[in-house]
Amino acid sequence: MRTIGAMIGVIFGLFFAGMGGYIAWETTLPTFLNWVEAREWQATEGTIIAAGGADNGVTASYSYRVGRDEYLGKRVYLAEFKDNFGSYHREMRSYLREKERTVQPVTIWFDPDNPADSI
Protein backbone atom coordinates (compact mmCIF):
# COMPACT_ATOMS: atom_id res chain seq x y z
CA MET A 1 0.00 0.00 0.00
CA ARG A 2 2.87 2.40 0.78
CA THR A 3 4.41 1.71 -2.63
CA ILE A 4 1.21 2.67 -4.44
CA GLY A 5 0.94 5.86 -2.37
CA ALA A 6 4.56 6.73 -3.15
CA MET A 7 4.01 6.12 -6.86
CA ILE A 8 0.94 8.35 -6.86
CA GLY A 9 2.96 11.03 -5.07
CA VAL A 10 5.78 10.79 -7.61
CA ILE A 11 3.36 10.95 -10.55
CA PHE A 12 1.56 13.91 -8.96
CA GLY A 13 4.88 15.70 -8.34
CA LEU A 14 6.16 15.02 -11.86
CA PHE A 15 2.93 16.36 -13.33
CA PHE A 16 3.23 19.66 -11.46
CA ALA A 17 6.96 19.93 -12.16
CA GLY A 18 6.25 19.34 -15.85
CA MET A 19 3.52 21.98 -15.90
CA GLY A 20 5.84 24.46 -14.16
CA GLY A 21 8.55 23.72 -16.71
CA TYR A 22 6.10 24.19 -19.56
CA ILE A 23 4.93 27.55 -18.22
CA ALA A 24 8.54 28.70 -17.79
CA TRP A 25 9.35 27.53 -21.34
CA GLU A 26 6.40 29.44 -22.79
CA THR A 27 6.76 32.67 -20.76
CA THR A 28 10.04 33.21 -18.95
CA LEU A 29 12.45 31.87 -21.57
CA PRO A 30 11.12 33.96 -24.51
CA THR A 31 11.07 37.10 -22.35
CA PHE A 32 14.64 36.46 -21.21
CA LEU A 33 15.82 35.90 -24.79
CA ASN A 34 14.08 39.11 -25.91
CA TRP A 35 15.82 40.97 -23.08
CA VAL A 36 19.23 39.58 -24.08
CA GLU A 37 18.65 40.67 -27.68
CA ALA A 38 17.38 44.14 -26.72
CA ARG A 39 20.35 44.98 -24.47
CA GLU A 40 22.23 46.30 -27.52
CA TRP A 41 19.34 48.39 -28.82
CA GLN A 42 19.53 52.17 -29.05
CA ALA A 43 17.13 54.85 -27.84
CA THR A 44 15.31 57.53 -29.79
CA GLU A 45 12.26 59.70 -29.18
CA GLY A 46 8.87 58.73 -30.51
CA THR A 47 5.26 59.89 -30.50
CA ILE A 48 2.30 57.83 -29.34
CA ILE A 49 -0.37 57.62 -32.04
CA ALA A 50 -2.84 55.49 -30.04
CA ALA A 51 -2.77 53.66 -26.72
CA GLY A 52 -5.21 51.20 -25.18
CA GLY A 53 -5.54 47.67 -23.94
CA ALA A 54 -7.11 45.79 -21.06
CA ASP A 55 -6.11 44.70 -17.56
CA ASN A 56 -3.97 41.91 -18.99
CA GLY A 57 -2.13 43.81 -21.72
CA VAL A 58 -1.28 47.17 -23.26
CA THR A 59 -1.57 48.11 -26.91
CA ALA A 60 -0.03 51.12 -28.58
CA SER A 61 1.08 52.39 -31.92
CA TYR A 62 3.85 54.93 -32.16
CA SER A 63 6.07 56.65 -34.69
CA TYR A 64 9.80 57.33 -34.41
CA ARG A 65 12.72 58.41 -36.55
CA VAL A 66 16.08 56.75 -37.07
CA GLY A 67 18.25 58.96 -39.22
CA ARG A 68 16.10 60.20 -42.09
CA ASP A 69 13.69 57.27 -41.97
CA GLU A 70 10.40 57.25 -40.07
CA TYR A 71 9.00 54.02 -38.62
CA LEU A 72 5.78 52.85 -37.01
CA GLY A 73 5.84 50.42 -34.11
CA LYS A 74 3.30 48.51 -32.04
CA ARG A 75 5.36 46.49 -29.56
CA VAL A 76 5.06 47.84 -26.02
CA TYR A 77 7.09 45.45 -23.85
CA LEU A 78 9.47 42.51 -24.00
CA ALA A 79 7.05 39.79 -22.95
CA GLU A 80 5.12 37.95 -25.64
CA PHE A 81 2.31 36.88 -23.34
CA LYS A 82 -0.47 38.63 -21.45
CA ASP A 83 -0.99 38.52 -17.71
CA ASN A 84 -2.93 40.38 -15.06
CA PHE A 85 -0.48 40.23 -12.15
CA GLY A 86 -0.02 43.54 -10.37
CA SER A 87 -0.69 46.97 -11.78
CA TYR A 88 1.95 47.13 -14.55
CA HIS A 89 -0.47 47.10 -17.48
CA ARG A 90 -2.86 49.60 -15.90
CA GLU A 91 0.00 52.00 -15.09
CA MET A 92 1.65 51.63 -18.51
CA ARG A 93 -1.67 52.18 -20.28
CA SER A 94 -2.28 55.37 -18.22
CA TYR A 95 1.26 56.58 -18.92
CA LEU A 96 0.95 56.01 -22.68
CA ARG A 97 -2.51 57.57 -22.87
CA GLU A 98 -1.21 60.66 -21.07
CA LYS A 99 1.71 60.91 -23.52
CA GLU A 100 -0.75 60.52 -26.40
CA ARG A 101 -3.11 63.17 -25.00
CA THR A 102 -0.35 65.74 -24.34
CA VAL A 103 1.70 64.82 -27.44
CA GLN A 104 4.82 64.41 -25.30
CA PRO A 105 7.70 62.29 -26.60
CA VAL A 106 8.38 58.79 -25.29
CA THR A 107 11.57 56.77 -25.39
CA ILE A 108 11.58 54.12 -28.10
CA TRP A 109 14.23 51.41 -28.17
CA PHE A 110 15.12 50.05 -31.60
CA ASP A 111 17.41 47.42 -33.05
CA PRO A 112 20.25 49.26 -34.85
CA ASP A 113 20.58 46.33 -37.28
CA ASN A 114 16.85 46.44 -38.06
CA PRO A 115 15.37 49.82 -36.99
CA ALA A 116 11.83 48.65 -37.78
CA ASP A 117 12.10 46.33 -34.73
CA SER A 118 11.30 48.43 -31.67
CA ILE A 119 9.80 48.62 -28.20
Report the pLDDT averaged over residues 17-42: 79
- Residue 53 and residue 95: Cα distance in Å, rounded? 12
For the chain, what is the domain count?
2
Q: Are residues 5 and 60 in the same domain?
A: no
- What local confidence, expressed as pLDDT, does residue 4 receive? 80
Q: Are residues 14 and 57 in the same domain?
A: no
Q: Are residues 10 and 53 in the same domain?
A: no
- Which tens digit of pLDDT belongs to each residue from 60-81? 999 999 999 999 999 998 776 6
Q: Are residues 34 and 55 in the same domain?
A: no
CB-side exposure of 32: number of CA atoms within 13 Å? 6
Range from 46-55, 86-95, 104-113 that averages highest in pLDDT: 104-113
Predicted TM-score of the model (pTM): 0.73
- Residue 89 and residue 13: Cα distance in Å, rounded? 33
Q: Are residues 24 and 47 in the same domain?
A: no
CB-side exposure of 87: number of CA atoms within 13 Å? 3
Q: Are residues 96 and 74 in the same domain?
A: yes
- The answer to whether residues 38 and 54 touch, using CB atoms and an 8 Å cutoff, is no
The set of residues, in sequence order, having a beta carbon less than 8 Å from that of 104 and lying 6+ positions away, is 98
Range of the domain at 110: 41-118
Q: Are residues 51 and 28 in the same domain?
A: no
Rg of the chain on CA atoms, in Å? 20
